[in-house]
């Protein structure tokens, strides 16, 4: 939980305790009425600016060298496909290998794997799923939507205002019920927001004429914010 006082957004009443005052960094709140607490929340969906992708590549061979050679060949095909899609922030992990034990008449094998990540524009979603996700040895993990980071500050301001209005409305109802309609905000505690929502993307070939994987059908990024407000009702 992150705690913050917002003197610029809301008129907070901050009164020091005792003749000598509190220690530095401490504030004591005083209410000459009834202390009310209300938790406000707000959320907002945004258009997806990017799709954050993650996929695994695996290959097998009789020896570690053979498995790694096959893995390298598959990586080259994936890398070319992603570059064609205009993928940005492309990252490739170091490969890992381990021994697969023999099973029945099947001799022991070596498996090699690595991870690839990056981000792609939503209109390229179909090409990502069909063109790259269906390549040999590729496993496409769930895709997450990302909003435009340039909108983050404005969205956060809007969520703060909406969450505070929500808390104020709740406190006002209680204050009216107890006959103390005059409210003064004393303190605001920010409780955080939510990350982008994870999305699912299946990588499976489809026959001609079958509808495409449509990024517009994916759940859009969702930002959340909640806060706890203490009011003095008089």
Tell me the pLDDT band of 217, cut-offs 50, 70 and 90.
low
DSSP tag of 123: G
Residue pLDDT, tens place only, 76-110: 999 999 999 999 999 999 999 999 888 888 888 99
Residue 152 phi, psi dihedral angles, 5° rounding: -60, -45
Higher pLDDT, 207 or 32: 32
Q: Tell which residue, 147, 112, 140, 170, has the closest CA to residue 220.
A: 147
Structure tokens at 47: 């258009």
Confirm or reject CATH 3.30.110 for domain 34-47+149-233, answering yes or no: yes
Q: Establish how many alpha carbons lie within 13 A of residue 158's alpha carbon, considering only the half-sphere containing its beta carbon.
A: 11
Q: Measured between alpha carbons, how far is residue 96 from residues 3, 54, 89, 118, 202 in Å?
A: 43, 17, 22, 20, 25
Provide mean pLDDT across the span 7-27.
Answer: 41
Sign of the dihedral defined by the CA atoms of residues 158, 160, 161, 165, in that order: positive
In the chain, domain spans: 34-47+149-233, 50-146
Fold that domain 50-146 belongs to in CATH = Alpha-Beta Plaits (3.30.70)
Residue pLDDT, tens place only, 170-202: 999 999 999 999 999 999 999 866 543 333 333
- Could you tell me the pTM of the whole model? 0.60
């Amino acid at each position: 939980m992150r705690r913050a006082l917002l003197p610029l957004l809301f008129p907070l009443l901050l009164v020091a305790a005792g003749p000598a005052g509190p220690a530095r960094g401490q504030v004591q709140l005083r209410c000459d009425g009834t202390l009310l607490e209300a938790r406000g929340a707000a959320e907002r969906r945004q258009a997806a600016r990017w799709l954050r992708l993650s996929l695994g590549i695996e290959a097998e061979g009789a020896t570690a060298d053979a498995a790694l050679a096959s893995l390298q060949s598959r990586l080259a095909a994936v890398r070319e496909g992603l570059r064609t899609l205009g993928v940005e922030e492309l990252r490739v992990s170091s490969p890992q290998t381990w021994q697969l034990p023999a099973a029945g008449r099947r001799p022991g094998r070596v498996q090699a794997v690595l991870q690839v990540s990056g981000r792609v524009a939503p209109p390229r979603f179909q090409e990502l799923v069909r063109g790259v996700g269906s390549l040999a040895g590729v496993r496409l993990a769930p895709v997450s939507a990302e909003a435009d980071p340039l909108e983050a500050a404005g969205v956060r301001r809007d969520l703060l205002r909406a969450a505070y209005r929500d808390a104020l409305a709740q406190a006002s109802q209680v204050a009216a019920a107890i006959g103390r309609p005059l409210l003064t905000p004393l303190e605001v505690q920010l409780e955080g927001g939510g990350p982008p929502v994870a999305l699912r993307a299946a990588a499976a070939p489809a026959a001609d004429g079958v509808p495409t994987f449509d990024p517009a059908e994916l759940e859009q990024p969702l930002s959340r914010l909640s806060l706890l407000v203490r009011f003095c009702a008089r």
